[in-house]
Amino acid sequence: MTEMTETADQHTDALAGAWLDLVATARRTAAEGLVVGTSGNVSVRVDDLVLVTPSGVPYDRLGPADTVAVRLDGTRVLGALTPTSELPMHLAVYRTTGARAVVHTHAVHATAVSTLVDELPLVHYMTAALGGPVRVAPYETYGTDALAERMLEALRDRTGCLLQNHGAVTYGASLDQAYDRTAQLEWMCRLWLTAAAVPGHTPSLLSRDEIRRVGEKLAGYGQAAPSADGGAPGRGGAQG
């Protein structure tokens, strides 16, 4: 009985900690200009539950009592607030990938690019950090299963995509990683728009082969390197 109580307490603590991290990430998207008002949404997976931002509530008003959790089938199991309208999109990612966190924003530059091309031009090697060329999912009405399906097609073998006339979605093994991918994607979109706007010039682009090569290099980025004597790994990592 004691072990069961301890396990339940640990699960409760894990949910509480994850919710605080989720709210902090959501507030960061607003503070750094990736969303306006209550647009965009964030989620994080804890075991078989998904914590997600509620619909229509400003992030600066969210507290511990506002925790919202659903099962992978969408059944709400915790909280009185309504989950984000984009819940189908978040759950689709968790059901089909190993994601532990998802970030969706209406970032200006990412949304602008989504209206212009079917794929973000290969303007920078950090494209490889998202698995390859970033696709644009064709437009579907927000909050629908159709949008979730289009998104999954664009995310095939990728960790991020653009949503036409809508925004961007990224996922990762943690909230920090998912957020970093969102920020990188928005930066690359801004970079391409800036370069493409220079009159009389066409931005130089990288090849898909180069993106693949960079992807191989990034696979070991930040990992410990062997020590000089061939013994235990040191604490150094790859440098960008």
Residues of the chain where predicted confidence (pLDDT) is lower than 70? 1-10, 221-240
Is position 225 within any domain?
no
- Which residues make Cβ contacts (< 8 Å) with residue 22, sequence separation at least 6? 42, 43, 44, 51, 52, 53, 175
Say what the pLDDT of residue 11 is: 74
Residue 178 lies in a domain: yes
Q: Does residue 113 form part of some domain?
A: yes
Residue 25 lies in a domain: yes
Q: Does the active-site annotation cover 86?
A: yes
Q: Looking at the domain assignment, is residue 149 inside a domain? A: yes
Q: Report pLDDT for 38.
A: 84
Q: How many CB atoms lie within 10 A of CB 142?
A: 14
CATH of the domain at 212: 3.40.225.10
Residue 116, domain member (yes or no): yes
Cα–Cα distance, 226 to 43 (Å, whole number):
37
148 within a domain of the structure (yes/no): yes
In a domain, 229, yes or no: no
Q: Which of 70, 72, 67 is nearest to 16 (CA)?
A: 67
Residue 1: the pLDDT is 55
What is the rounded distance in angstroms from the CA atom of residue 129 to the CA atom of residue 146?
A: 27
pLDDT at 2: 60
- Residue numbers of the domain that contains 89: 12-218
Amino acid 219: pLDDT: 85
Q: State pLDDT tens for residues 161-195.
A: 999 999 999 999 999 999 999 999 999 999 999 99
E strand segments, 23-166: 41-46, 49-52, 69-71, 76-78, 101-105, 136-137, 160-163
How many domains in the chain? 1
- Which of 3, 6, 32, 86 is the catalytic position? 86
* Structure confidence by residue, pLDDT tens digits, 208-219: 999 999 999 988
